[in-house]
Amino acid sequence: MRNVRRRLAGLTALATLGVVLAACSVNVPDPAAPKPSPSESTMATPTITPGHDAAAVAAKDLPLSAGGTLAPGDPVTVSSRLEEVPGWSVVHAALQGEVRYRKTDGCTLAVRVSVNQGPLVVAGDDAASTKELFRYLDAGIAVDKLKTAALRWGQESNQPQHSVEFLAVESSAASGGAAAVVLARLFSAPESSVYISVACPDAAALAKARAEMEAQLVVVPQS
């Protein structure tokens, strides 16, 4: 059990991000529950499966059903130029795998890449693995009602654009809460996840922030 908790340490900060959806169906896990041990500050040297064609994987869409085309080793990462959009600024960067942004209209956005997610992985099934990630964040979430969403896949701007699928949960502003959306995917082969949350004062601000996020964030394939 101690080893499992250590491997789950990368998810601890993800659970805290659930607060952006406190006004809807996603809640922060019980603070009285046992917590994973502190995360380690270094990552083991990645190992890439011999014969893995990273260029071919990056050159086409990555739906949830195609997670098996990735290789163990390097995590999928995220590149962002959101700070170049008027109104957005970086709150902190590269803090335990998280980058957080704030916008002048009150919106916030967090991007987190976590590794060593093996205890949540359903082998060869990114959709089921991602549902396990959402269950970890909130045991009461209706995972069958999660929606698919897509972000840009690959950094080559001079090449045809491709997309990568995520699962998402949305909430509307109610009872003083925020309008929010969370996108996540647990990539089963490399046992790593990407988690993105956007929260805004109202639906109109969220729609604009989400459009800017989708234009400026790129999910980066393994090299």
User: What are 175-211's pLDDT values in tens digits?
Assistant: 567 899 999 999 999 999 999 999 999 999 999 999 9
Residue 32 has pLDDT above 70, yes or no: no
- The pTM score is 0.78
Between these two residues, 46 and 118, which has the higher pLDDT value? 118
What is the DSSP pairing of strand 162-171 with strand 179-187? Answer: antiparallel
Q: Tell me the domain boundaries of the chain.
A: 2-33+52-220
pLDDT of residue 176: 64
The answer on pLDDT for 10 being more than 50 is no
**Phi–psi pair at 103, nearest 5 degrees:** -115, 150
Q: What is the pLDDT of residues 57-107, one digit of tens each?
A: 989 999 999 999 999 989 999 999 999 999 999 999 978 889 999 999 999
Share of the chain above pLDDT 90, in %: 60
The pLDDT of residue 42 is above 70: no
pLDDT above 70 for 26: no
What is the pLDDT, as a whole number, of residue 70? 94
Residue ranges of alpha helices (H) inside the chain are: 2-7, 12-17, 54-58, 126-137, 203-216
pLDDT score, position 13: 42
